[in-house]
Amino acid sequence: MARRRSAVRIGMTGLGEREELAPGVFINTNYRGCTPGFMYTEEGIILIDSPLIPKQAIDWRQQIEDEYPDQPFLYMINTDHHRGHALGNQYFMPVKVIAHERAHKEMSGYTENFKERVRNSFKREPEIQAQLNNIIIIPPHITFTQRSTLLYGSRRIELIYVGGHTPATSIVWLPEEKICFVGDILWVDQHPYMAQGNTLEWLRALETIRKLGAEYLIPGHGPVCGPDATYRVAEYIEFMRKRVREYYLDGKNKNETKSGLVGEMLEWFPVPPERKAKIESQIKSGLNRVFREIQREQDAAAGIVSLDEDEEDDD
């Protein structure tokens, strides 16, 4: 099948452009937080992820309603529970939210402290911070564990749990259109966020995606791409695992490993100068995670049982 991209369409409010990848399947790569998508079915609209910033979420809803007036919103599928993918759910009510069961556990535990941390993350952007004064968490109404299929009109939509990036990360596969929304499993020319990751799951997830036969992959962040884009992320993860293992076997502790490797990892993808400190912190969180994995793997090889840790690293 020949690969095609339709003309870009401009949203009514002008905050971002929507693009039609296949008849009735749209994305917007211009919002902060994630790349949301939606698809038209003869029974209504199914959405994938929601913009983090309220004005952008409202803009996205207006664009959808402009394209398909009077169509009900059936479902919002969250590819994971992180703020960039799920915090905007409130602006698409009364939609029903679908996500992995672990996403429900995580989002049901979001407290006022979590909301305050979200607001504080925009303290240098007071206009955005002010938009976040009325955060309402909408956890999933419907959950799944491994796979689920939605059949609406002529659409077949497959939800596939892959893990890796988080314990809730899932992908959305449209087999007829050969389009896959892969969430934060795939980062294009960016350092992946790994603070809650499981790298062996992540590598398996990338292999699963490659085997689907997709023509278009929609990353959680970054441009639309093809399956070949998965190899660079896999190489990054494999390199990090290799180097952390070498440091661990050389007797280095976690802090020594982070200090020694953050510079090496920084070179893999371009980093804007104004984001260098943030990206370094992000890489350190990933190194923390991988160090624990290697430690558990070595313990298991020695017959020592260690507890799994799924919490997010903040340091």
Return the CATH number at 115. Answer: 3.60.15.10
User: From CA 215, how far away is CA 165, in angstroms rounded?
Assistant: 22
Quote the domain boundaries for residue 124.
8-161
Q: Which of 137, 159, 122, 161 is nearest to 83 (CA)?
A: 137
42 and 125 assigned to the same domain:
yes
153 and 32 assigned to the same domain:
yes
User: 116 — phi, psi (to 5°)?
Assistant: -65, -40
Q: Domain boundary at 161, 191, 223, which?
A: 161
Q: Is residue 152 domain-resident?
A: yes
User: From CA 226, how far away is CA 175, in angstroms rounded?
Assistant: 15
Residue 163 to residues 9, 78, 221: CA-CA distances in angstroms? Answer: 33, 13, 17
Q: What pLDDT shows up at residue 3?
A: 33
25 and 148 assigned to the same domain:
yes
Q: Is residue 166 domain-resident?
A: no
Q: Domain boundary at 161, 187, 215, which?
A: 161
Q: Following CA atoms 87, 91, 93, 99 in sequence, which dihedral angle do they give, to the nearest 10 degrees? A: -30
Q: Is residue 92 domain-resident?
A: yes
12 and 153 assigned to the same domain:
yes
243 and 141 assigned to the same domain:
no
262 and 148 assigned to the same domain:
no
Q: Is residue 40 domain-resident?
A: yes
Domain count of the fold of the chain = 2
What is the residue type of 282? Q
Q: Is residue 194 domain-resident?
A: no
114 and 29 assigned to the same domain:
yes
130 and 256 assigned to the same domain:
no
Q: What pLDDT shows up at residue 311?
A: 52
12 and 155 assigned to the same domain:
yes
Q: Domain boundary at 142, 161, 180, which?
A: 161
Determine the 3-state secondary structure of 30 from DSSP.
coil
Q: Is residue 274 domain-resident?
A: yes
Q: What pLDDT shows up at residue 111?
A: 92
User: From CA 36, how far away is CA 204, in angstroms rounded?
Assistant: 24
Structure letter (DSSP) for residue 6:
-
pLDDT tens for each residue of 83-116:
989 999 999 999 999 999 999 999 999 999 999 9
43 and 148 assigned to the same domain:
yes
- Kindly give the parts of the chain with pLDDT less than 70: 1-16, 305-315
Hunting for tokens 């939800």 — which residue is that? Answer: 159
58 and 142 assigned to the same domain:
yes
Q: Which residues on adjacent β-strands are paired with residue 162?
A: none
User: From CA 23, how far away is CA 195, in angstroms rounded?
Assistant: 37
125 and 19 assigned to the same domain:
yes
